Chains A and B, each alone.
Chain A
């Protein structure tokens, strides 16, 4: 049972390049989400999904796209990277999409540097 996995661990991009951050979970969780972590700002929600085929925007969605074709995978796409997207990205999953009491399980993070 691997939990939540993320690849790559670290990536350097040039401004304007595109890339996909991968996230997968093997816990059969319906709810998955992406956060970015910036110094002094905690974690902010980018996009989330309540099940395969359903996604929605979080607090800071601009510049990012997501899709959820399977329960297991929830990739995050940067279509044209900008220096403001330099951050650490965390994927998380939770078994209950509507349960406020539910713990979210986080992946180890992807550190992204945009030059």
Chain B
């Protein structure tokens, strides 16, 4: 089946630290991959996406590369800020009649000043 597995949280880092949140997937066919972010008290919003193998998505200093050989889409940022504290969701889309998002369980990130 189709599934997404994310690094267990919560993750706590100091400001300016390097961030990696691991994400691996299982899918039939060639899904598109996404990272969504949920800030406290808000809905989810798209952070970045990649639609084919070796594509790199980037936004707000975050990056993730679609690795078909390792079925991974790890999220990275070189220097995190307090404002990056949020819950991060890795997801893939599949087409079964219509577009469906399959989410990982989410990783809560807290950045301390």
Query: Which of the residues A43, A94, A99, A107 comes within 8 Å of B103, measured between beta carbons?
Result: A43
With a cutoff of 8 Å between Cβ atoms, the chain A residues found around residue B49 in the complex are 101, 103
A101 to B36, CA, bound (A): 14
Task: Tell which of B36, B51, B95, B101 touches A98, judged by Cβ atoms closer than 8 Å.
Answer: B95
B contact residues around A104 at 8 Å (CB): 46, 99, 101
Evaluate whether A31 and B98 lie within 8 angstroms (CB atoms) in the complex, with A42-B106, A100-B32, A106-B45 already known.
yes
The answer to whether A109 touches B43 (Cβ under 8 A) is yes
- Least CB separation from A44: chain B residue: B103
Q: Does A50 contact B (CB under 8 A)?
A: yes
B89 touches A43 (CB 8 A): yes
**72-98 of chain A: CB within 8 A of chain B:** 90, 92, 94, 96-98
Query: What residues of B have a CB within 8 angstroms of the CB of A40 in the complex?
Result: 105
Which residues of A come within 8 Å of B, CB atoms?
A: 4, 31, 33, 35, 40-45, 48, 50, 56, 58, 90, 92, 94, 96-104, 106-109
Q: Find chain B residues with CB under 8 A from A102 CB.
A: 93, 99
Q: Are B32 and A101 in contact (CB under 8 A)?
A: yes
Interface, chain B (partner A; CB < 8 A): 4, 31-32, 34, 36, 42-46, 49, 51, 89, 93-95, 97-101, 103-106
Known A-B contacts A100-B51, A100-B93, A100-B94; A90 and B99 likewise in contact (beta carbons under 8 Å): no
Number of A-B contacts (CB under 8 A): 69
Contact B89 A108 (CB under 8 A): no
9 A-B pairs with C-beta separation under 8 A:
A31-B99, A33-B101, A40-B105, A42-B105, A45-B101, A99-B99, A103-B49, A104-B99, A108-B42
User: Which residue of the partner chain, among B42, B43, B89, B93, contacts A42 with CB atoms under 8 Å?
Assistant: B89
Q: Name the contact of A101 in the complex, choosing from B51, B101, B106 (C-beta under 8 A).
A: B51
**How far is B42's CA from A106's CA once the two chains are assembled, in angstroms?**
9
